[in-house]
Amino acid sequence: LSRLLQRLLSARRSLEICLFAFSSPQLGRAVQLLHRRGVRVRVVTDAQYMGLRGSQISLLRHAGIQVRHDQESGYMHHKFAIVDRRMVITGSLNWTTQAIQNNRENLLVMEDAEYVKPFVDEFERIWEQYNPVNYSFF
C-alpha cells in the first residue's frame, strides 16, 4: 500500500484510474488529495460494483472528480492507473482493503512507453465509450 501510494502521489499533471473495485479509504483519500492539488483525475469503474457498500466512487464524485462507468452486462474488469501519462500501474490488485491486506496479488509498475501506450489508448477509448452522452435508455 505505501509503495502504491508513493507512486500515485508523484502525479503532477494527470491521473487516469480504471478499476473494477475501489473501496480502500487510504487510496480514496490519496486520489482526492491529488484532485485538490490540481491534478486532472479521471476514473472509470464497473457499474455493478460502484454502488456496493464501502465503494469510494460516490465520495470521489462528491469531491468533484469525473467518474464514468460501463453500460454492459460484462464487468469492466481492468485494474490499472496511469500517472502523468508516463507510468502505468497494473496487475491483479483491486483497490480494496481485503485485496491489500489478505489476498495474494501482483502489481506491475512500468514506465516503458511500449507498455504505457496501450493502457493510455485503452483508457481514452473507454472514456469516450462510457461518455454519458452515449447512454442508451430503454
Known catalytic residues are 77, 79, 84
Distance CA 127, CA 67 (A): 9
DSSP codes of every residue in 41-68: EEEEE-TTTTTSTT-SHHHHHHTT-EEE
Site string for a second copy, 57-96 (x = CB under 8 A): -------------x-xxxxxxxxx---------xxxx---
Of 11, 15, 16, 20, the one binding a second copy by CB under 8 A: 20
Task: Give every strand in the sheet of 87-91, ordered side by side.
Answer: 66-69, 40-45, 14-19, 79-83, 87-91, 107-110
Which residue lies nearer to a second copy by CB, 41 or 76? 76
Calpha distance 114→116 (Å, rounded)? 6
* Burial class (CB within 10 angstroms; exposed 0-12, middle 13-18, buried 19+) of 42: middle
The answer to whether residues 39 and 94 touch, using CB atoms and an 8 Å cutoff, is: no
Q: Establish if 24 lies at the interface with a second copy (CB under 8 A).
A: no
Closest approach, Cβ 26 to a second copy, in A, equals 18
By the rule CB under 8 A, 102 interacts with a second copy: yes
Give least dist CB 67 to a second copy, A: 16
State the residue for C-alpha cell 486532472.
40
Q: Which of 2, 38, 53, 101 binds a second copy (CB under 8 A)?
A: 101
* Using rule CB under 8 A, residue 122 touches a second copy: yes
Note the residues at the interface with a second copy (CB under 8 A): 20, 70, 72-80, 90-93, 98-99, 101-106, 108, 115, 118-119, 122, 126
